Amino acid sequence: MSILYPSAKHDRFSHSIGTYHLGQKAFDGFFTNAAPLIFENISNLSPQKFLQQRRDNYRDSFLLACLLHDVGHAPFSHTCEDLYCYKSPKSGQLSELEEDLLDKIMNFDISYFSQSEKNEFEADFRHFFGNNSKDIKDKDKDKDLHPAPHETMSALIILEKYDLFKKCFTDSGQTKSPLLDFIIRAILGCTYGVSHKDSPECVLDKGIRNCLILLLNSKTVDVDKLDYIARDSLMSGYQNVVLDNERLLSSLCYVKKTEGDYVPAFNKSALSVLNNVIAAKNSQAKWIFNHPITVYDHYLLNRCIVTVLKHLAVNGSHVSFDEIKKQMFDLSTLSKEGNKITTECRIMLLSDADIIYLIKQVLSSGNGAGDTEGAVEEFLNRGARRSPVWKSKEEYCYSLYDNTDKDNKIRRQISDFFMPLITNVTGVEDLSHSQVINEAYYNEIMSKKDTIYGADLLLNILNCLKDFCGDQYIFDFVFLIPKVNYQNAIDNKIIENIYQPYLF
């Protein structure tokens, strides 16, 4: 976000420490409020004794997961994250990176990761993220549920460096080793499955672990989100809603769902803070993450990386683009041992600076033939950067429906008829998440000349778009509603609620 707010110089390290700090407060708040609920669920247990044992067993491992949850991030954070996914997984299948993680776990030393833990982890992992993920009730209907690529890479790094973490525990006087299975699950957001064969005490124990996992990695409120919402606002100067994290985390408890699962919850005294969290997150998404300058910078950076990878593939190693991408964005390049990408290029401890250096090398070499869009020049030269034609959904809707300028007719045609033809590309070189023509949908429309999306009208729209844009503009799109409602919105022609196009 520093491209938007130059004072925002915070990084993943400070965010990880903040998450660790909030993790301490969440852990303490949860266990302070949990005793009465345990007594209600299992009357023959001593709540204080039961909780003290779990507090002692899970505290250090939970805090270690909080501290290391982002250690696997690629350079430029989420911008380059998908480069870890060498091939996009088919529906119901794991990605290559996820399969690598499972393979490493299944072959890990059983003294650190028992065979029963391995088997249970694989079953739960495949259930939530693989073949059976379509059955998960809380999951979006239009896409598979997968951990973020950086979370999977973080898990791989922890497995790789586990001996180091164990030594740190030993040197600090700890008598117990970190709980590797629990740490990996917390980072991935992979909760424990509960069987009807499990005893009530086992179900409760898994429930507590699952609550802790969701306090770090959930789809709603967790310590990771609470830290970056507050930190981004503080460091950038952006005036967002103030969050009372002390009040929120001190009200933590849990509830047992009708299905038997235990999930974290908050006391009613925290309702106002929860409302503020939602408002702050929505505001941040609209005015920072989806700001046109942020979207444009993300687009340029990804196109630059495509150019760099093409340059290395052609001039340095004479291997395929896909192979170069896999070699560069790999566990080995993040390590101090590094990886030899070409005969003259070895990368270790891959960082933002390495990517910038390689982008500059393409420009200085004078051999940027792959930079067909001039993205490298635009990225490095602020004077060559473009400006957005509109900066918000409101301004876009005004220009589309209320303004009578000469381009209004063209924009209306683009909005009403062009958007259904737009889709995400999943090819090897699709690193920008920009939208392109959906060929299947295009062919379907071309075959239905008697519909309002007839071939003649379609060709007129495409010609208008070409004439309007030429080589001067770049299109990018920010979806404003879940894709599950996408077709319904198209059918009802609520175009302004479907997407917000940016024109640069």
280-309 confidence digits (pLDDT tens): 998 888 888 888 888 888 888 888 888 888
Query: Does 144 have pLDDT greater than 80?
Result: no
Local confidence band at 463 (pLDDT 50, 70, 90 cut-offs) = low
Contact residues for 417 (Cβ-Cβ < 8 A; gap 6+): 453, 457, 458, 461
Share of the chain above pLDDT 90, in %: 31
Local confidence band at 13 (pLDDT 50, 70, 90 cut-offs) = very high
Contact residues for 65 (Cβ-Cβ < 8 A; gap 6+): 182, 183, 186, 187, 216
Local confidence band at 494 (pLDDT 50, 70, 90 cut-offs) = very low
117-133 confidence digits (pLDDT tens): 999 999 999 888 876 44
pLDDT at residue number 412: 57
pTM, entire model: 0.80
Q: Which of 31-40, 82-91, 191-200, 449-458 has the lowest mean pLDDT?
A: 449-458
pLDDT at residue number 370: 52
465-493 confidence digits (pLDDT tens): 555 555 555 544 443 333 334 344 434 44
Residues 373, 303 contacting (CB under 8 angstroms): yes
Q: Which of 143-147, 159-163, 405-409, 484-488 has the lowest mean pLDDT?
A: 484-488
SS (H, E, C) 330-367: CHHHHCCCCEEEECCEEECCCCHHHHHHHHHHHHHHCC
Q: What rounded mean pLDDT belongs to the chain?
A: 76
Residues 266, 34 contacting (CB under 8 angstroms): no
pLDDT at residue number 224: 96
Instruction: Tell me which residue of 80, 79, 97 sits closest to 88, measured CA to CA.
Output: 97
Sorted by where each starts, the structural domains of the chain and their CATH numbers stand as 12-289 (1.10.3210), 292-384 (no CATH), 393-503 (no CATH)
Q: What single string gives the DSSP state of each residue in 194-205?
A: --TTS-HHHHHH
Instruction: Tell me which residue of 58, 97, 68, 75 sits closest to 158, measured CA to CA.
Output: 68
CA 364 – CA 353 distance, rounded (Å):
16
20-70 confidence digits (pLDDT tens): 999 999 999 999 888 776 666 666 667 677 788 888 889 999 999 999 999
386-443 confidence digits (pLDDT tens): 777 667 767 766 655 555 554 555 555 555 555 554 443 333 333 333 444 455 555 5
3-state secondary structure of 314: helix
pLDDT at residue number 499: 40
Residues 423, 435 contacting (CB under 8 angstroms): yes
Query: Does 318 have pLDDT greater than 70?
Result: no
Residue reference for tokens 């770090």: 216
